[in-house]
Amino acid sequence: MFATAAIRWTYRRALKPWYFRRDPEDVHDLMCRVGEKLGRYGITRGITDAIFDFEDPSLAQDVLGVRFRNPIGLSAGFDKDARLVDIIPSVGFGFEEVGSITGEPCAGNPRPRLWRLPRSKGLVVYYGLKNDGADVVAARLRGRSFGIPVGTSIARTNDAAHAGVEEGIEDYAKAFRLFADVGAYFTVNISCPNTCGGEPYTQPERLDLLLTALDRIKTRKPVLLKMPADLSYAQTRALIETSSAHRVHGFIFSNLTKKFDRPEIVQTEITSHARGGISGRPAFAASNELLSQAYGEYGSRFVFVASGGVFTAEDAYEKIRRGASLVQLITGMIFEGPQLVGEINRGLVRLFARDGFANVREAVGAAHR
């Protein structure tokens, strides 16, 4: 507890002010290099573990046949090329999602492509799926075992050659084949807001074509769909109905929001250069709303994972009560520090006890009962 408080203080008073004066992508790259080095050696992993990790039996559960030691995961987009899989368990995460990884290597959009919104507690993301590509990342992970479940998020290569519906599907299928036996679960990211050709698979007919192609590929991994934040529930429902006819086991609500006029956003922070999707606080309410509606209707048929604007244990608990079995985050960790993961898990144990839940499973969807 003392170590956590000391790290929180150091992060907020010393590291964050230094980071927040520098280019966000440079800082992200630096963090990834440091994390990769810490993950390489038993001693640095052990020290990280001793400082950050927190375990409690009430946090553990099986979801879709996969054992999760706690419900808090690193969302897709932080560890794009799966270089942090050795250190992320020691930071206290219960799982991580690597990627999004595309069929072909992808340089992403031109820089700058990441901006901070300190007062709105969000980031504007315009990476455009920069990653090493499915061949390289699958080879990096194949045959390895991990301390926690590692999900593989796949998406369509962001270039003109893959912008057509058929070409896009073939690209997803290539990544799907390469990861069929690598990692614990799949996420099919149909909602990256920053790509050439837009988000074609958020239309039911095209989603149907994509999922039909993926159904033909053999895998034992469960499949989740990462959903957009800005569709109406009627549109979201149409995508869930389409998915019902395919090998889809659950949904992540949700990806970045593209609505720059959300009330949570301090408008003066948006510069004329910023474009893309927004994470953090501005994504909280929208993703919660869709999660609640979808769980209310489909909670007995699908698994739901939450993503968007988690900064505290109370935020994570709200998403669990709305129906999320698992909760992902990135922006909260960037704003609050890496000790946030343990703080959230500790806080969840306290909140479960306060409300009479023996474990996370009992709390999932409690707001609907």
- State the residues that interact with ligand FMN by CB under 6 A: 75-77, 99-100, 114, 123, 125, 127, 129, 153, 189, 192, 226, 255-256, 279-280, 283, 307-310, 329-332
Cα separation, 220 vs 200, in Å, equals: 27
Instruction: With beta carbons less than 8 A apart as the criterion, state whether 294 and 240 touch.
Output: yes
Q: What is the Cα gyration radius of the chain?
A: 19
Q: Closest distance between ligand FMN and the C-beta of residue 269, in Å?
A: 15
Q: Closest distance between ligand FMN and the C-beta of residue 262, in Å?
A: 13
Return the H-helix or E-strand segment holding 320: helix 313-322
Q: Closest distance between ligand FMN and the C-beta of residue 309, in Å?
A: 5
Which residue, 7 or 155, is less far from ligand FMN as judged by CB?
155
Conformation bin of residue 73: beta by default, left when phi > 0, alpha when psi is -120 to 50 = beta
Which residue, 182 or 229, is less far from ligand FMN as judged by CB?
229
Instruction: Report which of 336, 287, 290 is spatially closest to residue 344, judged by C-alpha positions.
Output: 336
Q: Closest distance between ligand FMN and the C-beta of residue 356, in Å?
A: 28
Structure tokens at 115: 């901006």
Which residue, 133 or 357, is less far from ligand FMN as judged by CB?
133
Q: Closest distance between ligand FMN and the C-beta of residue 308, in Å?
A: 4
Q: Crossing angle for the helix pair 313-322 and 284-298, nearest 10 degrees?
A: 30
Which residue, 329 or 357, is less far from ligand FMN as judged by CB?
329
Structure tokens at 210: 């994509």
Amino acid at 307: S
Which residue, 192 or 294, is less far from ligand FMN as judged by CB?
192
Residue number with the smallest Cβ distance to ligand FMN: 77
DSSP for residue 122: E
Which residue, 187 or 357, is less far from ligand FMN as judged by CB?
187
Instruction: Report which of 143, 142, 123 is spatially closest to residue 78, judged by C-alpha positions.
Output: 123
Q: Closest distance between ligand FMN and the C-beta of residue 276, in Å?
A: 9
